[in-house]
Amino acid sequence: MSARYLIPAALAALLLAPPVFAQPSDSTADSTEAQHAATADSAGVDVTFDISGFRNDDGLLMLALHNSEDTFPKKPEEAFRLATAEIIKGQVTITFVNLPPGEYALIYFHDEDLDEELDSNFLRIPKEGYGTSTVVKAGGPPSWDDAVFEVTEKPVRQALEVKYW
Ligand SMILES: [Ca+2]
């Protein structure tokens, strides 16, 4: 039943390799996260996303953090970091730790049925929720320019909302 066994070996290796962690969103977690940030390697920057608006806690949230517009969003296997997260009470807080400064774009989707795909209907309109590092616009897959954000020396914390059509 574990979703991890559904993830292809190559992806699983990528998922396990990076120091990514997920934890439930919790208003009391700030001090814990601050401690975590303080102990992180000073060479990199932590980027945290608080994602809300999930219609249920089914399945998993699949995330791909890209650092190149050549891979975003069509080549998740070439993303800079991949992660999965459990949805708890309709929310996810996830931190990508120790990122080198640069430009990034996040894309994620709510894989409610655990088939590792963003399900869509016959009009190719997604049936599962998804989003990017910015506000999702209507009209097809998001572009790098729509979703890109910059990481400098300071930790980033961004609130996002999942989109269902
Ligand atoms: Ca799915």
Q: Could you count the other beta carbons within 10 Å of the beta carbon of residue 149?
A: 14
Which residue, among 58, 27, 15, 11, has the nearest Cα to 164 in the 3D structure?
58
Dist. CA 114 → ligand 1 center (Å): 5
Dist. CA 136 → ligand 1 center (Å): 19
Dist. CA 53 → ligand 1 center (Å): 17
What's the whole-model pTM score?
0.74
At 148, which helix (H) or strand (E)? none
Instruction: Please write the tens of the pLDDT for every residue from 103-161.
Output: 999 999 999 999 999 999 998 889 999 999 998 887 778 999 999 999 999 999 999 99
Instruction: Assign 26 to helix, strand or coil.
Output: coil
Instruction: Please write the tens of the pLDDT for every residue from 81-93.
Output: 999 999 999 999 9
| Residue-level pLDDT at 42 | 58
Dist. CA 104 → ligand 1 center (Å): 24
Alpha-carbon span 160 to 119, nearest angstrom: 21
Alpha-carbon span 15 to 34, nearest angstrom: 24
Instruction: Please write the tens of the pLDDT for every residue from 53-96.
Output: 999 999 999 999 999 999 999 999 999 999 999 999 999 999 99
Dist. CA 65 → ligand 1 center (Å): 19
